[in-house]
Amino acid sequence: MSGPFAHPSVPIGVAALAAAYIVAVRVSGRRVTTGQVAAFAAGLAALLLTLTGPLDELEDARLFTAHMTQHLVLTLVVPPLLLLGTPGWMLRRFIRPAPVARLARILTNPIVAFGLYNTLLIGLHNPPVFELMCRDEHFHIAMHLLLIATGVITWWPLLSPLPELPRLSYPGQMLYLFLQLIPMAAVAAPITLAQTVIYPYYAIPQLHPFDLSPLSDQILGGLFMWVGAGFYMTAVFTLIFYRWAMRDDRDRPVVSDQTYGADGGGALVSRLRPAH
């Protein structure tokens, strides 16, 4: 069985997130921008399609490239879209308790965020761990949840919606992104350049419709991680540089608190203002 019914936890989780978002907006009486709603919806759609759509069917058919593409979407596409779509006020209530605030400051520290994500990235692609993930459905689900969670944490220094947990300066963001390429290459290069199939789970004739040998599939999957992720990060790097150049008198992007009208509404817009 394939599709959403093969993994019912995915549509249930996506529906729960969508419902929580809608309820938070309705209960608060605050509005969100069209762009925020679109970004959050796109993040949920990407999550649902990645884990229940054709890409998931190819992963179930033991296509390594599809599996690596899933991981890239779960860490490089879904988390930034969810962050872009979530207004700061929606998260602020959760970090008000002092212990939670302290933990949040630790986890979103750029060094900690970088370390958590890349430790998982490297550890997950260790052959025994990866093999266990492929063969144990519960472990597989847990790893996907960890990839999404650490993905949100690692994107936080670039897209934080809360001034209390601020973004890096523009130069800091560019350095942060550049450094992210190193662990990704360290994982992808050995996979791409290997002369034999590294993961036994994929060392069988493929069941998918593409005429790829297991080794060719492994090379393609490694290239997706190495070159594909590199192009993606470079595009984000370029966008950050452009935003910095357009605000050459502002070194640090800071998400301002929102000002609401007398009706308690007002458009919720995450704008940038210079740090003092």
Count: domains in the chain: 1
Residue range of the domain that includes 112:
9-258
Virtual torsion, Cα 209, 212, 213, 216, nearest 10 deg: -150
In a domain, residue 272? The reply is no
Contact 233, 180 (CB under 8 A): yes
CA–chain centroid gap for 124, Å, is 16
Cα separation values, 123 from 23, 27, 117, Å: 37, 41, 10
Single pTM value for the model: 0.86
In a domain, residue 270? The reply is no
* Angle between helix 110-124 and 170-193 (nearest 10): 10
In a domain, residue 45? The reply is yes
The ranges of the chain with pLDDT < 50 are: 1, 258-276
The pLDDT score that the predictor gives to residue 6 is 62
Virtual torsion, Cα 96, 98, 104, 107, nearest 10 deg: 180
In a domain, residue 201? The reply is yes
Contact 121, 187 (CB under 8 A): yes
The pLDDT score that the predictor gives to residue 49 is 95
Which amino acid makes up residue 125?
A: H
CB under 8 Å to 261, separation ≥6 — which residues? none
Which amino acid makes up residue 108?
A: T
In a domain, residue 35? The reply is yes
In a domain, residue 3? The reply is no
* Angle between helix 9-28 and 34-52 (nearest 10): 170
Q: Which two tokens stand for residue 160?
A: 């934080």
> Hey, which residues does 255 pair with through a beta bridge?
272
The Cα 46–Cα 73 span in angstroms is: 8
In a domain, residue 2? The reply is no
The pLDDT score that the predictor gives to residue 268 is 33
Contact 196, 214 (CB under 8 A): no
The pLDDT score that the predictor gives to residue 173 is 96
Residue with structure tokens 């935003």?
A: 243
Q: Which two tokens stand for residue 189?
A: 């290069």
In a domain, residue 157? The reply is yes
The pLDDT score that the predictor gives to residue 207 is 60
Helices (H) and strands (E) in the chain, counts: 13, 2
The Cα 78–Cα 88 span in angstroms is: 18
